[in-house]
């Protein structure tokens, strides 16, 4: 049974007003009071975490769970275990690479049925915009889809084709009427080049096929769409700093354009990727060291709104690690459990604060998904989805100890700064010290 009142005390609580000593009182799954640390506890169960940080649990709005249809790639049970261990209390599942993709009302129902009773964290769903399904958008929206994702280039799976100009034109008026958001994998297909004569085991051969110009041109196209139609456009997984700067310019213009980046773009650099290391392959690709630092600067200036994982796993054999063939390997990074620590590792080294981390990984994603009124902050009335985080702990990633289904990850052997010690879901401890508590309690969230 959950205690009627729980009080968590810390010398470092990350609140909307800053980091402070505080007691956080929880009842019926919600925060009812944020008081001085010395405030009377009035018979509540008290947990004092001392100098460790109490922060809102992270929200990851870019996760490929792949169930139903490709549960051997991930699945709700394994993905949500990884999320809980990584300090994530809410994830929003992408409409691919499940079969069927979430491009119809029936597919959304199949997705919700697959998730029911299996989730250790809260789960919501994005819908998909593909060729010819504009008529489905209202049905998906009314059933609780958080918004709609499309690709401007080949998605990598035949059941989720990219959109053409006619598809965008058919969808735009419907999205405007629904006040629904369009999420875009923004690369211009005309700028994607064949693999050519480069060695298939060299990352540089792959990188040349997806230049930064492919992103900047696609972002410019989506900015024009937002300017002309007024719809809200969110640019996914920005890897190019010039594309991020274009998003920032659109925001300064007053357009409804936002953008995200991912821990792997903030952590790795193309010069450091070894030959044959296909675990680093993703699209858009990881770019050079100078670009990485410019991404951090864009994040610091607010041109990039949030950081999410883009966890896109696959069976190890699809990553072609044995041959090291970047041309044939599946493009996706496995990182769900690691994203909070990976981002803090880079952020703290560059002088950013815990408040910055919470803005990028808690409040920003909550606002994107329309959850900002009750998730992503430590304040009265908000859900008690919380994380105990040791920002000073140092540890080394052992992929065999990760909870996502397949262990191959570019973070293997990397030293991280910052460790999740416990995760609370609506006031219940669901993970601590390598252990999970109770049955799966995650809720299915509908917009």
Residue spans of the domains in the chain: they are 58-368
Rounded average pLDDT over 42-67: 96
Report the SS3 class of residue 4.
Answer: coil
CB of 248 closer than 8 Å to CB of 223: no
At 4, the pLDDT band (50, 70, 90 cuts) reads: confident
Residue 2 has pLDDT above 90, yes or no: no
Q: Please report where in the chains the tokens 């008081």 appear, as a residue.
A: 35
User: 327-360 pLDDT, tens per residue?
Assistant: 999 999 999 999 999 999 999 999 999 999 999 9
Percent of the chain with pLDDT over 90: 97
User: 200-245 pLDDT, tens per residue?
Assistant: 999 999 999 999 999 999 999 999 999 999 999 999 999 999 999 9
Rounded average pLDDT over 13-21: 98
Report the SS3 class of residue 210.
Answer: coil
pLDDT at 155: 97
Residue 18 has pLDDT above 50, yes or no: yes
Q: Which of 8, 59, 60 is nearest to 31 (CA)?
A: 8
CB of 100 closer than 8 Å to CB of 112: no
User: 142-151 pLDDT, tens per residue?
Assistant: 999 999 999 9
Q: Which of 157, 295, 171 is nearest to 222 (CA)?
A: 171
Q: How far apart are CA 432 and CA 421, in angstroms?
A: 5
Q: Is 64 exposed, middle or buried (0-12, 13-18, 19+ CB in 10 A)?
A: buried
Buried b / exposed e across 161-178, counting CB within 10 Å, b at 16+? bbbeeebbebbbebbeeb
Q: How far apart are CA 424 and CA 60, in angstroms?
A: 16
pLDDT at 1: 47
Cα→Cα distances 124→69, 314, 396, Å: 18, 21, 31
* β-bridge mates for residue 151, sequence order: 185
Q: Which of 91, 33, 55 is nearest to 359 (CA)?
A: 55
User: 107-150 pLDDT, tens per residue?
Assistant: 999 999 999 999 999 999 999 999 999 999 999 999 999 999 99
Q: How far apart are CA 233 and CA 221, in angstroms?
A: 11
DSSP class of residue 261?
A: E
Q: For residue 81, give the H/E element and its range.
A: helix 76-85
At 196, the pLDDT band (50, 70, 90 cuts) reads: confident
CATH of domain 58-368: 3.20.20.140
Cα→Cα distances 70→117, 118, 294, Å: 18, 16, 36
* β-bridge mates for residue 123, sequence order: 91, 444
pLDDT at 43: 85
User: 403-429 pLDDT, tens per residue?
Assistant: 999 999 999 999 999 999 999 999 999
At 42, the pLDDT band (50, 70, 90 cuts) reads: confident
User: 254-304 pLDDT, tens per residue?
Assistant: 999 999 999 999 999 999 999 999 999 999 999 999 999 999 999 999 999
At 3, the pLDDT band (50, 70, 90 cuts) reads: low
Q: How far apart are CA 443 and CA 227, in angstroms?
A: 36
Q: How far apart are CA 281 and CA 327, in angstroms?
A: 9
């Amino acid at each position: 049974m959950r205690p009627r009142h729980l009080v968590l005390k810390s010398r470092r609580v990350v609140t909307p007003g800053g980091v402070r000593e505080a007691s956080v009182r929880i009842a019926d799954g919600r925060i009812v009071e944020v008081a001085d640390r010395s405030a009377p506890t009035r018979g509540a169960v008290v947990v004092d975490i001392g100098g460790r940080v109490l922060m809102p649990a992270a929200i990851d709005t870019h996760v490929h769970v792949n169930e139903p249809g490709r549960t051997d790639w991930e699945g709700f049970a394994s993905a949500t275990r990884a999320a809980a261990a990584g300090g994530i209390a809410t994830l929003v599942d992408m409409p691919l690479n499940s079969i069927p993709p979430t491009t119809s009302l029936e597919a959304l129902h199949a997705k919700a049925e697959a998730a029911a009773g299996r989730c250790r964290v809260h789960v919501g769903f994005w819908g998909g915009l593909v060729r010819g399904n504009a008529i489905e958008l209202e049905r998906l929206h009314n059933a609780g889809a958080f918004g709609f994702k499309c690709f401007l280039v080949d998605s990598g799976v035949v059941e989720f084709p990219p959109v053409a100009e006619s598809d965008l034109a058919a969808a735009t008026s419907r999205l405007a009427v629904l006040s629904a958001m369009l999420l875009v994998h923004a690369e211009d297909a005309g700028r994607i080049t064949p693999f050519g004569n480069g060695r298939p085991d060299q990352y540089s051969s792959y990188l040349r096929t997806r230049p930064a110009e492919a992103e900047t041109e696609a972002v410019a196209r989506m900015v024009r769409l937002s300017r002309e139609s007024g719809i809200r456009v969110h640019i996914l997984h920005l890897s190019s700093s010039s594309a991020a700067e274009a998003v920032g310019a659109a925001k300064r213009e007053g357009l409804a354009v936002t953008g995200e980046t991912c821990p792997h773009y903030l952590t790795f650099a193309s010069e450091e990727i070894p030959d044959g290391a296909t675990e680093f392959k993703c699209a858009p690709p990881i770019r050079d060291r100078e670009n990485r630092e410019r991404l951090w600067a864009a994040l610091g200036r607010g041109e990039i709104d949030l950081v999410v994982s883009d966890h896109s796993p696959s069976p190890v054999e699809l990553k072609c690690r044995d041959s090291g063939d970047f041309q044939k390997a599946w493009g996706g990074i496995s990182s769900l459990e690691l994203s909070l620590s990976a981002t803090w590792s880079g952020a703290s080294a560059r002088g950013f604060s815990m408040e910055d981390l919470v803005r990028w990984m808690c409040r920003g994603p909550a606002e994107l998904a329309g959850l900002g009124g009750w998730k992503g902050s430590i304040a009265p009335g908000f859900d008690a989805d919380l994380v105990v985080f040791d920002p000073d702990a140092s540890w080394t990633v052992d992929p065999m100890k990760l909870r996502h289904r397949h262990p191959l990850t570019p973070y293997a052997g990397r030293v991280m700064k910052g460790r999740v010690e416990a995760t609370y879901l609506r006031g219940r401890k669901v993970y601590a010290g390598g252990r999970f508590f109770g049955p799966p309690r995650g809720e299915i969230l509908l917009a």
